[in-house]
């Protein structure tokens, strides 16, 4: 039974493991120049998906390629083990929710469960990684939960704290009420969604002026209970306008949009004149001493709303700053779960994002609602739990990244980005608009923030090592002390003031964990100094485009803060994997492709090839099973079949490259060797500039030419008896081509490459060097000529299909006419090849049409109309009168002067070529071919014989005869058919490995219909 592809790959993986091939490929390069690769740590409590398949394929490709190019490439795996995804998973397992229930369950017990959970899918990740052929050291990974890793992170944070860049502050931050923690700006950037919300224009009664209102607009009605002020632009013009019985104040530029047409302007005033105006709050549940008045703010615009902005300092950064600048009171009506506090009685306990409609109803009931409308906008959601975020004023810990903004920007300029536009585009814009890093998280499972604060004087200390923690701790810490909550929370320091220092209860943003990996993966600076210096900075980091605001950012930020330099030299930012219709893959849509299932069905090589060759890795990919299936059939199987062909005959003839080596000297041998070495040069050039897709496509084209042109056209040389010089040359050429191709394709398709190479050379391809082109073997002129031959053959086949003529039916003449090149004399030596490939008796090269084709020129009115205007009709008349010679000159030069001097250019006309009766025409880039489709008795008879040969070969295969086994052929035919077959006996001998032909009936014959002629067929051995 034939071995399935996935079984072949599994067998190779076992051999790699047994022989330590991966480890040897690294060890063999010891002492060579290093190529540094960082593995972005996945979270092991989620399953791998198609996006991971792309990322891991590209990573493995780069590492394999650079290894074969002579570099030592260490590949240390990593696991991101902290953070909310783990906590949320454990909450689900325990059927609890929120911090209160976690604390009730017990923090220590919860932490223990988190540690147990982090490697839930480690087996699946390992299985997926190995099945894909991704070589990475998963036996010695860096793990973010270990004491060593955390100690390195603490060292970095302590250094940042020492520089005065780690500080405690109170500000409005993005906040997830479900997770009950704040987020950093780069986390927020990953979770925007289009949503429908309500906006409201509320009436704020001006104190002491009956029926006079300020019209304040808000897109977050739920924040109105927290109103402290109304902001206006001091230099903006406002109007006081009467509408009905009420008087409103609104921006002059917005009056018509807000009030409609039916209003009277009583006076015009500048915003600064409104400052200090007192008003009644829409909800009076929260009492304040200083507030509920108009303030000036430069961020107010006339572009939307009313030009007066409702200010709620607890829920907006600009609002917060405006209230601070004006010395107004601060109020908070929302708790940490995102629900209204008890002070706001009517909606106490309600989640605020669900309360917009109720707020609007309450405004209407009080007569305070002027207008409401739905609007669609982009709103941030938690990238972990998918809940809508709030902007929430709270105390937190921040890293002053704005202090190193210019250095980060300068470091980014030294990085090579793929695609290049991200450097100054998506990533550059994010750096330009960066804010201080909100580093603290009010959660449990994470690296504890290593800052201790004196409860008496406020002094801070940040231990940068476990040793410092032990030195400063009041009580002795055990040998196996763990750097996690709740254990570190119990550690206290003595302050110089006599007070007691306690650790802030925060854990840090997990993105800081992953951003610290260049240092923490080697427990730097506590050990492995040499290894760290050898492995910093990275030559390349590779992840999805969403990591521009995730890992790529955190790597750059941490490295700049800590060392002042960029942690990587280049970044490959990969696109998303979409379904075949361009839709995002999701379980709800049922369009998810599981990489392990694709590997099981088509093999890892096919999946890898499809991912790399379909389009550049940084483009979003429309992906389907069909894409992988085609990669298997058109590329992977092509190489496998070519190798099988070689193996079959090499075993029969006992070919030994050391004994039978013979230099290529035939036309086809020299051509395929030249193509191979040109390919090596082109592919290497592409891969050095990270154009993986171009390299893959060039290789696919070559494989097709090798299989469907070179091998198909030379296979009869392998069928010859004995081992003559020509046969040795054929074997030597194909051996050379297959070994070099296996090396060339190894980073793309590591399994089939190793299968081919190891059988030919006896060692793993992954321990060999990448092939180098030999310029002495390249004959560019020959390659160009053969490319033209292939073009002619392809056009002739197209013409044959157009005429619905079978391939086996010979035809008399193929006429080839040049259209853009002048190479006929050079191609005449290829005439026999073209004849045989197109199944014609003669090939004729012409520069002119020779009366077999007429040319018709028609105006291209889309171009010529605007160009010639009212003279278009006269131009058409002159065009129709052109002679054949004038048309020919026009085609040759691309332009001509008409009788009135008008210049007619190539783009002004449509060119139509028509073949004369009895011929079929097919146009190509450089040639036009005319196929003579007229039939003679001789041609029809030969076509019959060729069809019979095809039928015999098919039946022979069906019966299981080996390709080199000679057969006795019995044919039961009528006398006319026998006469034809005897006449074309040479065709039978050439097309079938025959011992003898008998024209007689035999029991058990298979009845056939060949070109309408009944035939009985029997094959004997």
Question: Are 265 and 202 spatial neighbours (Cβ–Cβ below 8 Å)?
Answer: no
Q: What are the binding residues for ATP?
A: 587
The CA angle 263-230-434, to the nearest 5 degrees, is: 120
The CA angle 750-765-129, to the nearest 5 degrees, is: 30
Distance between CA 42 and CA 79 in Å, rounded? 6
Tokens 């009788």 belong to 899
* Active-site residue identified among 41, 174, 282, 771: 41
Q: What are the binding residues?
A: 587
Q: Residue 658 CB: number of other CB atoms within 10 A? A: 5
Beta strand pairing status for 76-79 and 577-578?
unpaired
Burial grade of 974 (CB within 10 A; 0-12, 13-18, 19 or more): exposed
* Active-site residue identified among 162, 366, 584, 1006: 584
Among 314, 319, 347, 159, CA closest to 230: 319
Q: Where are the alpha helices (DSSP H) in 97-146?
A: 98-105, 107-117, 122-132
Q: Residue 877 CB: number of other CB atoms within 10 A? A: 11
* Active-site residue identified among 125, 222, 397, 511: 511
Question: Are 401 and 437 spatial neighbours (Cβ–Cβ below 8 Å)?
Answer: yes
Among 52, 34, 35, CA closest to 43: 52
* Active-site residue identified among 72, 236, 535, 547: 547
Q: Where are the alpha helices (DSSP H) in 276-433?
A: 317-325, 356-365, 405-413, 421-424, 426-432
* Active-site residue identified among 18, 374, 587, 659: 587
Distance between CA 583 and CA 857 in Å, rounded? 45
Q: Reply yes or no on whether 8 is catalytic.
A: no
Q: Reply yes or no on whether 148 is catalytic.
A: no
Distance between CA 689 and CA 686 in Å, rounded? 5
Q: Reply yes or no on whether 569 is catalytic.
A: no
Q: Residue 431 CB: number of other CB atoms within 10 A? A: 19
The CA angle 947-948-952, to the nearest 5 degrees, is: 120
Provide the token pair at 212.
């006079």
Among 711, 408, 354, CA closest to 556: 408
The verdict on whether omega for the bond into residue 416 sits within 30 degrees of 0, i.e. cis, is no
DSSP bridge pairs for 503 = 452
Burial grade of 629 (CB within 10 A; 0-12, 13-18, 19 or more): middle
Distance between CA 38 and CA 57 in Å, rounded? 14
Helix 604-613 with 50-68: angle, nearest 10 deg: 90
Q: Reply yes or no on whether 547 is catalytic.
A: yes
Distance between CA 275 and CA 270 in Å, rounded? 10
369 phi and psi, to 5 degrees? -100, 120
Tokens 């006079």 belong to 212
Question: Are 504 and 449 spatial neighbours (Cβ–Cβ below 8 Å)?
Answer: yes
Given CA atoms 967, 968, 972, 976 in this order, what sign does their dihedral have? positive
741 phi and psi, to 5 degrees? -65, -40
Q: Reply yes or no on whether 41 is catalytic.
A: yes
Q: Reply yes or no on whether 222 is catalytic.
A: no
Q: According to the 3-state scheme, what is the secondary structure of 266-320?
A: EEEEEHHHHCCCEECCCCCCCCCCCCCEEEECCCCCCCCCCCCEEECCCCCHHHH
> If DSSP codes are grouped into helix, strand and coil, which group holds residue 392?
strand
Given CA atoms 951, 957, 958, 961 in this order, what sign does their dihedral have? positive
Strands (DSSP E) found in 359-515: 369-380, 390-399, 416-418, 437-438, 440-441, 452-454, 460-461, 492-494, 500-503, 507-508
Tokens 């009076």 belong to 284
Q: Reply yes or no on whether 551 is catalytic.
A: yes
Q: Mind telling me the catalytic residues?
A: 41, 80, 511, 547, 551, 584, 587
């Amino acid at each position: 039974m034939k071995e399935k592809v996935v079984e072949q790959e599994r067998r190779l993986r076992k051999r790699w493991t047994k022989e330590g091939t991966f480890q040897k490929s690294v060890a063999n390069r010891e002492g060579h120049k290093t190529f540094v690769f960082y593995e972005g740590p996945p979270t092991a409590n989620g399953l791998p998906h198609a996006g991971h398949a792309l990322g891991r394929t590209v990573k493995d490709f780069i590492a394999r390629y650079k290894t074969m190019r002579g570099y030592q490439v260490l590949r240390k795996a990593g696991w991101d083990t902290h953070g909310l995804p783990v906590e949320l998973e454990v909450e689900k397992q325990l059927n609890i929710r929120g911090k209160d229930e976690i604390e009730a369950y017990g923090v220590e017990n919860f932490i223990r469960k988190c540690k147990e959970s982090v490697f839930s899918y480690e087996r699946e990740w390992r299985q997926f990684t190995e099945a894909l052929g991704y070589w990475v050291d998963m036996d010695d990974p860096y793990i973010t939960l270990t004491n060593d890793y955390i100690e390195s992170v603490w060292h970095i944070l302590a250094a940042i704290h020492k520089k005065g860049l780690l500080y405690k502050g109170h500000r409005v931050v993005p906040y997830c009420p479900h997770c009950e923690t704040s987020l950093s700006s780069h986390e927020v950037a990953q979770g925007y969604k289009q949503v429908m919300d309500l906006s409201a224009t509320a009436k704020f009664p001006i104190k002491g002026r009956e029926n006079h209102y300020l019209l304040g607009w808000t897109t977050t009605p739920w924040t109105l209970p927290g109103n402290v002020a109304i902001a206006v632009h001091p230099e903006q013009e406002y109007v006081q306008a009467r509408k009905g019985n009420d008087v409103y104040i609104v921006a002059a530029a917005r009056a018509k949009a807000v009030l409609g047409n039916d209003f009277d302007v009583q006076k015009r005033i500048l915003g600064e004149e409104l400052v200090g105006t007192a008003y009644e709050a829409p909800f009076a549940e929260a009492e304040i001493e200083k507030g509920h008045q108009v303030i000036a703010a430069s961020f107010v615009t006339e572009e939307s709303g009313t030009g007066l902005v409702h200010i709620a300092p607890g829920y907006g950064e600009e609002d917060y700053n405006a209230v601070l600048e004006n010395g107004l009171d601060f109020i908070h009506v929302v708790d940490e779960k995102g629900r209204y506090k008890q002070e706001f009685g009517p909606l106490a306990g309600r989640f605020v994002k669900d309360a917009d409609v109720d707020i609007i109803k309450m405004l209407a009931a009080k007569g305070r609602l002027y207008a409401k409308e739905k609007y669609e906008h982009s709103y941030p959601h938690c990238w972990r739990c998918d809940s809508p975020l709030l902007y929430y004023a709270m105390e937190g810990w921040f890293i002053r990244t704005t202090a190193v903004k210019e250095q980060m920007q300068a470091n980014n300029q030294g990085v090579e980005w793929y695609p290049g536009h991200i450097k100054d585009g998506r990533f550059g814009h994010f750096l330009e608009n960066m804010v201080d890093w909100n580093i603290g998280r009010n959660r449990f499972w994470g690296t504890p923030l290593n800052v201790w604060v004196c409860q008496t004087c406020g002094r801070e200390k940040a231990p940068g090592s476990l040793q410092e923690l032990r030195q400063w701790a009041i009580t002795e810490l055990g040998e196996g002390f763990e750097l996690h909550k709740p254990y570190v929370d119990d550690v206290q320091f003595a302050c110089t003031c006599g007070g007691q220092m306690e650790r802030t209860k925060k854990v840090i943003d997990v993105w800081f964990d992953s951003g610290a990996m260049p240092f923490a993966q080697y427990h730097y600076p506590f050990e492995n100094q040499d290894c760290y210096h050898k492995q910093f900075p990275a030559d390349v980091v590779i992840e999805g485009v969403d990591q521009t605001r995730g890992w790529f950012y955190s790597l750059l930020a941490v490295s700049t803060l800590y060392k002042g330099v960029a942690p990587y030299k280049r970044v490959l930012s990969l696109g998303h994997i979409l379904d075949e219709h361009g839709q995002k893959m999701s379980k709800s849509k049922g369009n998810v492709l599981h990489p392990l299932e694709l590997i099981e069905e088509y093999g890892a090589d096919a999946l890898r090839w499809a991912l790399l060759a379909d389009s550049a890795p940084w483009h979003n990919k429309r992906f389907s099973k069909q894409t992988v299936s085609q990669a298997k059939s058109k590329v992977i199987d092509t190489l496998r079949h070519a190798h099988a062909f070689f193996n079959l005959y090499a075993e029969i003839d006992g070919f030994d490259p050391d004994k039978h080596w013979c230099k290529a000297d035939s036309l086809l041998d020299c051509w395929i060797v030249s193509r191979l070495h040109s390919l090596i040069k082109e592919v290497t050039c592409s891969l050095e500039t990270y154009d993986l897709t171009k390299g893959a496509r060039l290789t696919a084209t070559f494989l097709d030419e090798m299989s469907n042109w070179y091998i198909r056209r030379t296979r009869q040389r392998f069928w010859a008896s004995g081992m003559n010089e020509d046969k040795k040359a054929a074997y030597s050429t194909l051996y050379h081509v297959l070994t070099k191709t296996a090396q060339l394709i190894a980073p793309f398709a590591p399994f089939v490459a190793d299968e081919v190479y190891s059988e030919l050379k006896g060692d793993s391809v992954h321990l060999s060097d990448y092939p180098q082109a030999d310029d002495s073997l390249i004959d560019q002129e020959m390659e160009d000529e053969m490319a033209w031959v292939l073009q002619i053959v392809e056009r002739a086949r197209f013409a044959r299909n157009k005429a619905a003529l079978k391939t086996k039916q010979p035809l008399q003449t193929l006429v080839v006419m040049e259209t853009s090149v002048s190479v006929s004399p050079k191609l005449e030596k290829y005439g026999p090849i073209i004849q045989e490939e197109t199944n014609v008796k003669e090939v004729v090269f012409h520069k002119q049409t020779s009366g077999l084709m007429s040319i018709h020129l028609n105006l291209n009115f889309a171009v010529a109309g605007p160009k010639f205007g009212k003279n278009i009709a006269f131009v058409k008349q002159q065009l129709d009168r052109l002679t054949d010679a004038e048309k020919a000159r026009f085609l040759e030069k691309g332009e001509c002067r008409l009788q009135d001097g008008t210049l007619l250019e190539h783009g002004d006309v449509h060119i139509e070529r028509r073949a004369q009766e009895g011929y079929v025409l097919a146009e190509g880039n450089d040639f036009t071919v005319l196929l003579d489709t007229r039939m003679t008795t001789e041609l029809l008879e030969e076509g019959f014989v060729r069809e019979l040969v095809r039928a015999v070969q098919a039946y022979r295969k069906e019966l299981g005869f080996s390709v080199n086994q000679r057969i006795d052929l019995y044919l039961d035919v009528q006398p006319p058919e026998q006469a034809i077959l005897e006449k074309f006996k040479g065709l039978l001998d050439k097309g079938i490995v025959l011992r003898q032909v008998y024209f007689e009936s035999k029991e058990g014959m298979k009845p056939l219909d060949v070109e309408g002629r009944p035939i009985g067929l029997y094959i004997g051995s």
